[in-house]
Amino acid sequence: MKLTISGHHIEVTDALKSYVTGKVEKITDHFEEVVDAKVTLSVEKHQERDGKKAECTLHVKGADLFAEASNADLYAAIDDMAAKLDRQVTRHKEKMQNHSKDAPKRAPVL
């Protein structure tokens, strides 16, 4: 799996890289067919509040999954994003498994 971590208005430190890598690897433990992942960490500067945002696009066999989360704490945003992706990957895996089992059986031709 290829993992790309980038920052927008933020410097991606080694601690952030290792934290994101750990979260994405937990997702790949559930579903091995992940081709690549692109994670973008950013700082949003609004007049009312400052917030951190984590976005991830996961390319898996059969679909592209996307999740984003915002929080005042960047690590909490990464946790929320990883939880959303984990649910999406689990749902996608179940759909792939159920799809092959739900094929109707043909009735014998008499």
Topology of the domain covering 2-99: Double Stranded RNA Binding Domain (3.30.160)
Predicted pLDDT of residue 2: 92
pLDDT tens-digit series, residues 15-69:
999 999 999 999 888 788 888 999 999 998 774 566 899 999 999 888 999 999 9
Residue recorded with tokens 């009312």: 48
Burial (CB < 10 A; 0-12, 13-18, 19+), residue 38, is: middle
Q: Give the predicted TM-score (pTM) of the model.
A: 0.83
Q: Tokens standing for 35?
A: 């081709």
43/54 Cα distance (integer angstroms): 9
Q: Tokens standing for 15?
A: 């601690």
Average pLDDT, the chain: 87
Phi-psi sector, 9: left (phi>0), alpha (psi -120 to 50), beta: left
66/32 Cα distance (integer angstroms): 17
Q: Tokens standing for 36?
A: 């690549």
